[in-house]
Amino acid sequence: MIEMNTWIKAFRLRTLPLAFSSILMAAFLAYYSGHFQVLILVLSLFTTLFLQVLSNLANDYGDALSGVDGPDRGGPQRSVQSGAITREQMKIAIILCACFAFISGCILIVYVFKDHWLNLLFFLTLGIGAIAAAIKYTMGSNPYGYSGFGDIFVFIFFGLVGVFGGYYLFNQELEIIFLLPAISCGLLSVGVLNVNNIRDISSDRKAGKRSIPVIIGKEKAIIYHGFLIGGSFISAIFFVSILMPSFFGYTFLALIPVFFYHFKAVQAKENSSLDAELKKLAFATLFFVLLLGFGINY
């Protein structure tokens, strides 16, 4: 019998602040437009929780299977690679988590779209796609995370789908201007993945995983990281400027020093020491969303 602490470690709950950021941004936008509902937020958070844990478990299993999680990997030791959880046990956990994500997502979309079958079918398809994307990142015969496409999928699901699609659940209408905060969340989420990939660049290269840093090299990956962070702030500034709320809409700019010191740390630190920067950027993204969200609703 595996101890609960071992499973909690495998769930990598430290990734949840980043996963929840896009849903919270969608909720803030819904509140701003007068369409916020607590139940939709709660159901969305539960669905996101299961999807994120599913992604983490599938990543653990897939990387162990492919050999990416080797002894020279820079990050924390993974559960399957270390032997703490067997492959069969992890496969069962992945299946269960996928089922929980599907059930939670179905409850959410049936509650929202019970009288709109076309929307229901579209979001059901989108949900199945999200489950498949979480699994296929490192699993299967041709995982897209090993071919440099991880950044694109993270941007789509943590940015456009999470924020723009999440807002549609509240309002069932789309506001084009809300693409801007969706872009901000998506870029920062890609930034977290980029730090992870910079940290693992040596082991990934040996294992044949072609992440963006492996393809373009560390120096250019750091420049790319700067563009991701800068682009997120620029997008948010445009959003607030167009929306024209009070001065408090710009309070997220108070986080510029935090992101600046994070960027300098990514530049200066050895790859093996970058794990702490993953946590910092994930939590900084959450605070970015909270300040932006509260600012536009003040």
- The DSSP code sequence of 222-239 is HHHHHHHHHHHHHHHHHH
Predicted confidence at residue 35, as pLDDT, reads 93
| Whether residue 77 has pLDDT greater than 80 | no
Name the amino acid, one letter, at 248: F
φ and ψ at 48, to 5 degrees?
A: -65, -40
Q: How many residues does the chain have?
A: 298
Residue 10 lies in a domain: no
Of 79 and 161, which is predicted with more confidence? Answer: 161
Predicted confidence at residue 174, as pLDDT, reads 86
Averaged over 82-109, what is the pLDDT?
Answer: 90
Predicted confidence at residue 206, as pLDDT, reads 81
Query: The domain containing residue 232 runs over which residues?
Result: 16-297
Which tens digits make up the pLDDT trace of 19-41?
899 999 999 999 999 999 999 99
Residue 279 lies in a domain: yes
Residue 7 lies in a domain: no
Predicted confidence at residue 185, as pLDDT, reads 95
Asked whether 159 and 35 are in contact (CB, 8 A), the reply is no
Predicted confidence at residue 71, as pLDDT, reads 55
Averaged over 116-143, what is the pLDDT?
Answer: 85
Residue 9 lies in a domain: no
Predicted confidence at residue 179, as pLDDT, reads 95
Of 73 and 282, which is predicted with more confidence? Answer: 282
Residue 25 lies in a domain: yes
| Whether residue 75 has pLDDT greater than 60 | no
Residue 3 lies in a domain: no
Q: How confident is the model at residue 68 (pLDDT cuts 50, 70, 90)?
A: low
Angle, nearest 10°, between helix axes 87-113 and 117-136?
A: 160
- Of 14-23, 97-106, 176-185, the poorest mean pLDDT is in 14-23
| Whether residue 225 has pLDDT greater than 60 | yes
Residue 88 lies in a domain: yes
Averaged over 79-87, what is the pLDDT?
Answer: 80
Domain count, the chain: 1
Predicted confidence at residue 116, as pLDDT, reads 87
Residue 144 lies in a domain: yes
Single out the residue of 209, 183, 186, 182 nearest to residue 198, CA to CA. 209
Averaged over 196-219, what is the pLDDT?
Answer: 86
Asked whether 249 and 296 are in contact (CB, 8 A), the reply is yes
Of 59 and 258, which is predicted with more confidence? Answer: 258
Predicted confidence at residue 84, as pLDDT, reads 79
CB proximity list for 24: less than 8 A, separation 6 or greater:
286, 289, 290, 293
Q: What is the pTM of this model?
A: 0.91
Angle, nearest 10°, between helix axes 87-113 and 38-66?
A: 150
